[in-house]
Structure 1
Amino acid sequence: MTGVARLRTALSVEALKLRRSVVARLATALLVVLVPLGSVGMVALARSPRAVGPTAAKLADYATGDLATTHLLVCAQVLSVAALAAGGFFVAWSFGRELETGTAGALFGLAVPRGTIALAKCLVALAWVAACVVLTVAVTVAASAAVTAASGETFGPGAWAGASTALAAGLLGGGLALPFAWVATVTRSQLGTVGALVGVVALTQIVVLLGGGSWFPYAAPSLWAGMGGPEAAAAVGLPHLLLATAVAPAAILAVRHAWRHLTNV
């Protein structure tokens, strides 16, 4: 069996696991439904008379400006974090389940090398999260267009630019989930991986407060999408985004190395 054939076989098996995964189904539904609803809903709340006190202060950035563009701006901000969370939960399941339950021992008897299996898992996870991001942005665009038309406004170029930003932020967030596949491998624990994910999210908040968010890969996409305000978004440039982009391929290399050196214990 050639290397390409082995990878193709591993991909088909991992794709089948994905289709049968309850974790993937729930995460897909939450992304595709809650992110568009939250994007449109927060803008509606920000522009309603009921937004008073602390609520009005938190949503002040969404209270003015082009309606559709603001919808997609919120989508980009939420999706940059939601894609990371969904991807993190999925790789915790995909990589941690077999190791945690002890069924990974069967992998040592397969003709497909363990490094190839790890690569297939990473590629399937990336393809799934990318599809979720595209679908989520498409649903948000459709919902925003409907609300915008009902309000008598237009869905203009600014909204399409916001959709592009949402796609990029979501894809970056999803790619940042891959290092947790390595965490799941070395800890052999789904719960431990989720704990690491929560810890990184908390660390991100601290780094942003200390002013280092633009160079921290887990903060850069959200800041670029405007979560920290216009000034923070302007501080994030191409080098910062390229650093965040490099996390996924580096994680794949680390995961493959870890799986090649797995022991059957």
Structure 2
Amino acid sequence: MTGLATALRVEAAAWRHSTVARLTTPLLVLLVPAACVGLVALARSGAIVGAGGAKLVGLGSADAATDQLVAAGQVLAVAGLMAGGFALAAAFGAPLADGRVGGWFALAVPRDVVALARAVVVLAWTAACAVAATVVVVACAATTAALDPGVAWDGGHWAAAGRAVVAGVLSAGLALPFGAVATWTRSPLATVGALVGTVAVTQVVVMLGGGAWFPWAVPSLWTGTGGDAAAAAVHGPALLLTAAVAPVFLAVLVGQWRRLTDV
């Protein structure tokens, strides 16, 4: 446990100073809330018509504060996966691609422990960004509600905020398989390709009606991206299956790095 604690401290410090974290953190924490407020404003303005308007119709069915919180869940369901996937591609694919990982074999801490610490740090960072983004959206929604005399902040708003947090954390966990992909392919670019491919496959699965049990589709559907009927089709077991992806692939990743010999 001492080795893991040391590795976590070192990896957390390294991640805080990494280019990926410095660029992506403000994008997640600030751009996601801006997108939520903007999407709700567009939906309520009626300026977007056709296919685009149909996709935004669900964001104009309640008061503006609730709609902003619902939008937060929908945006974070995708943003958490994409940010986490890109981060893991950089965290594991880049050292393998350029040979820097050879130094891991000389460390006192075993390389599988280092890999575990690195994955946990990236997962915690992605989840923390999702929580922080939701907090910003809550502040925006509370301001919106305060400016609307016909809206009182209540438990429904907190429930929507809680769903947004859960969707963001679930999507962060769904990115962990791409750490295993990066280790297997030894290529950040191939990992990003797998991430984009997964998003495309998810769309196909949803169109075929299997999204309620496909982990990478569950957060988006649960937050109402596919409409109320699709959200109602996502039950507790599907959410548990989605949550199980993170620990399963964390174990896979650790096993990969424990067996890694050819660098």
Q: TM-score, normalised by structure 1?
A: 0.95
Equivalent position of 2:172 in the other structure: 174
Mapped to 1, the partners of 2:176 and 2:201 lie a distance apart of 17
Equivalent position of 1:31 in the other structure: 28
Equivalent position of 2:143 in the other structure: 146
Query: Among 155, 169, 175, which residue is 2:153 paired with?
Result: 155
Equivalent position of 2:221 in the other structure: 223
C-alpha contact (below 8 Å) 2:46/2:53 kept by paired residues: no
- Counterparts of residues 76-225 of structure 1 (less than 5 Å): 76-152=73-149, 153-225=151-223
Query: Among 38, 41, 60, which residue is 1:41 paired with?
Result: 38
How far 1:124 moved relative to its partner? 0.6
How far 1:113 moved relative to its partner? 0.5
Q: How many positions carry a matched residue from both structures?
A: 262
Shift of the 206–53 alpha-carbon distance from structure 1 to 2, 3 Å rule, reads closer
Q: Which residue type is aligned with residue 128 of structure 2? A: A
Query: Among 60, 67, 70, which residue is 2:67 paired with?
Result: 70
Bigger mean CA offset, 191-200 vs 47-56: 47-56
Equivalent position of 1:255 in the other structure: 253
SS at match of 2:47: coil
SS at match of 1:245: helix
Mapped to 1, the partners of 2:50 and 2:191 lie a distance apart of 38
Q: Which residue type is aligned with residue 256 of structure 2? A: A
**Once the two structures are superposed, what CA deviation does each residue of 1:200-225 show, in whole Å capped at 9, x if it has no partner?**
00000000001111111100111111
How far 1:49 moved relative to its partner? 4.6
How far 1:190 moved relative to its partner? 0.7
**RMSD, aligned CA:** 1.2
Mapped to 2, the partners of 1:196 and 1:212 lie a distance apart of 20
How far 1:52 moved relative to its partner? 3.8
**Once the two structures are superposed, what CA deviation does each residue of 1:171-216 show, in whole Å capped at 9, x if it has no partner?**
0000000000000101111111111000000000000001111111
C-alpha contact (below 8 Å) 1:105/1:264 kept by paired residues: no
Q: Which residue type is aligned with residue 47 of structure 1? A: R
Q: Which residue type is aligned with residue 174 of structure 1? A: A
Mapped to 2, the partners of 1:228 and 1:52 lie a distance apart of 18
Equivalent position of 2:58 in the other structure: 61
Q: TM-score, normalised by structure 2?
A: 0.96
**Once the two structures are superposed, what CA deviation does each residue of 1:95-133 show, in whole Å capped at 9, x if it has no partner?**
112111101111111111111011101211121112111
SS at match of 1:59: helix
Mapped to 2, the partners of 1:173 and 1:9 lie a distance apart of 27
Bigger mean CA offset, 19-28 vs 197-206: 19-28
Aligned-residue sequence identity (percent) comes to 54
SS at match of 2:167: helix
Q: Note the residue ranges of structure 2 that are not aligned, 5 or more in a row.
A: none
Query: Among 235, 238, 244, which residue is 2:236 paired with?
Result: 238
